Amino acid sequence: MPDKLTALAANPFWDFSLAFYERPGVADACLDLQDRLGADVNLVLFALWSTLEGPGRIALAQWRECMALTGPWREQVIAPLRAGRRAPPTAQADLPGDLAQWFQSRRLAVELDAERVEQDLLYRWAESQPRLPPADVAAETARNLVACLAAGGIAPGDAAASLRALLQAAAGASMPAG
């Protein structure tokens, strides 16, 4: 049976996200935004990618459009998968450790696949947008992050430390050769 996710294989946003998430401080900043403030990490990474490699600046109305595009998937698929993975493993209590560990890793893999689908939705949206290279990458990256959080009802001051960590990591990312 062929892999149904083959269509998702060519997604520069996904590739960027995997690499960027590994940078020092990024995972902690993203999880803080997600767990403490309810931010969608895929949208946060999209804000960064958009400036560094994607369509450039995204206006507040466009962030709302992206949220409307991905919101049902996030709420109906990703959130329940995450909640199930994070829940106390009561149903797994009777499983031997190796089986419980294997099952937990499969749950995480399915959750990551669902995240990848959300990122594909965002990437397809970005492909329909004109590319507007930023004059000032650092300033545009900060604007995209602030607009992304604002569209989700998060005040930048509530996310200051995480924003600083993400912007510091982004400062080390380079623009692709165009």
**pTM recorded for the entire structure:** 0.87
Provide the domain limits for residue 143: 12-171
Number of domains present in the structure of the chain: 1
- pLDDT band for position 175 (50/70/90)? very low
Q: What is the pLDDT of residue 177?
A: 38
Q: Is residue 116 part of a domain?
A: yes
Q: What is the pLDDT of residue 8?
A: 59
Burial class (CB in 10 A: 0-12, 13-18, 19+), 17: buried
Give all strands (DSSP E) within 76-151, no chain letters.
none
Q: Is residue 136 part of a domain?
A: yes
Q: Is residue 26 part of a domain?
A: yes
CA angle 92, 97, 100 (to 5 degrees): 40
Q: Are 42 and 70 in contact (CB under 8 A)?
A: yes
Q: Is residue 177 part of a domain?
A: no
Nearest to 13 by CA among 82, 152, 116: 116
Q: What is the pLDDT of residue 135?
A: 84
Q: Is residue 124 part of a domain?
A: yes
Helices 12-21 and 26-37: crossing angle, nearest 10°?
100
Q: Is residue 5 part of a domain?
A: no
User: Model confidence over 53-85: pLDDT tens digits?
Assistant: 999 999 999 999 999 999 999 999 999 998 887
Q: Is residue 57 part of a domain?
A: yes
Q: Is residue 3 part of a domain?
A: no
User: Model confidence over 78-118: pLDDT tens digits?
Assistant: 999 988 877 766 656 676 778 878 888 888 999 999 999 99
| Other beta carbons less than 10 A from residue 8's beta carbon | 15
Give the three-state DSSP class for 73.
helix
Compute the distance between CA of residue 123 and CA of residue 125 in angstroms, rounded to an integer: 5
